[in-house]
Structure 1
Amino acid sequence: MPLWQLFTPENAFTPDEKADLADKITSIYSGAKSKENFGFELPRFYTTVVFHEIKADSFFVGGVTHDKFVQIEVVHIARTNEGAAALAGITVEEILRRYFDSVSEVLQPYIAARGYELEFHVETAPFETWKIDGMTPPPPHSVAERRWFEENRSSLYTAEEVGDDVRVATA
């Protein structure tokens, strides 16, 4: 799961712009570029993007109202920086550089190009604290996870689909 929460001024984006931005954010983790940059592709349904529109009189930065500011909070669970770096055969610093370059490329036309200031941060949560439809998601790079990727949905999986990993989905 990458969970993106964008706190924006009211009407900063049209519904079509929100949909386009959400698709581009999802592609950071699930497209061919993701595999090239990070060594993995997540199932698209792992990525959730939520827009929180804040009224001008309720959006404060430094104690004063600010109508040209976007705050983005991201939670990563499906992969760690260390695991991605090891898989890609590069350093954690390089994974982070590639990630922030990808994020900047996606956000620039929606944020900086429109005169918005931006604060962005990522938190990592332990994989074992994550459930989808009551199930522990299959381990990274397993046959079960690949099936979830191809089907773009969760479903029960078997021990054979996860190899030596002891997790097996039960609903």
Structure 2
Amino acid sequence: MPLWQFLIPENACTAEEKAELAEKITNIYSSDFSRENFGFELPKFYTSVVFHEIKEENYYVGGVPRKNFVQIEVVHIARSNEGAAASQGTTVEEILRRYYENINGFLKPYFFDRGYEVEFHAENAPFENWRIDGMTPPPPNSAAEARWYKENRSSPYDAVDADEAERLIASR
């Protein structure tokens, strides 16, 4: 899972723009770009994007109403910055530079160029706290994860992969 939540003013984005953003966000994690820059490609269904439109009278920053503020919150759980850096033979700082450079580039026309103030944060959650359809997701780069990627949905996987997932959790 990456889970992206946008807290945006009402009507800040059209339905088409939201769909474009959701596709661009999914491609951060599930494309040649993700493989080349972070060393992985996640199943597309791992990525969720939610837009919460906030009425002006309900949006306060520093105790003051704000009509042009965008808050973006991201939770990563399927992969970590450290794991991406290790798989790429680089540093966490370099991984984050690539990540934010890409994000800033695609957010620009939707928010920065329109004069919105934008606050963004991403946090890593422990893999062991994650379940999909009642199952521990398969271990990274396993045959089961490859099948989930190809089928773009969850499905039961065999005990060998389940044992590998449990070992991965225990080793963290």
TM-score by length of 2: 0.93
Say which SS state the counterpart of residue 123 (structure 1) adopts.
strand
Question: What are the within-5 Å matches in structure 2 for residues 1-150 of structure 1?
Answer: 1-150=1-150
Match of 2:156 in 1: 156
For the aligned residue pairs, the C-alpha RMSD in angstroms reads 1.5
Match of 2:170 in 1: none
Structure number with higher helix proportion: 2
Q: What is the alpha-carbon distance in structure 2 between the residues aligned to residue 80 and residue 142 of structure 1?
A: 16
Give, in angstroms, the shift of residue 131 of structure 1.
0.2
Q: What is the alpha-carbon distance in structure 2 between the residues aligned to residue 114 and residue 156 of structure 1?
A: 45
Percent identity, please.
Answer: 65
Q: What is the alpha-carbon distance in structure 2 between the residues aligned to residue 94 and residue 114 of structure 1?
A: 29
TM-score by length of 1: 0.93
Give, in angstroms, the shift of residue 164 of structure 1.
6.6
Question: Do the aligned residues in 2 keep the contact of 1:70 with 1:118 (CA within 8 Å)?
Answer: yes
Call closer, same or farther: CA 1:163–1:130 in 2, change over 3 Å: closer
Q: After superposition, what is the alpha-carbon deviation per residue over 1:59-94, rounded to whole angstroms, capped at 9, x for unaligned? A: 111211111110001000000111111011111111
Q: Matched residue pairs, number?
A: 167
Question: Do the aligned residues in 2 keep the contact of 1:142 with 1:163 (CA within 8 Å)?
Answer: no
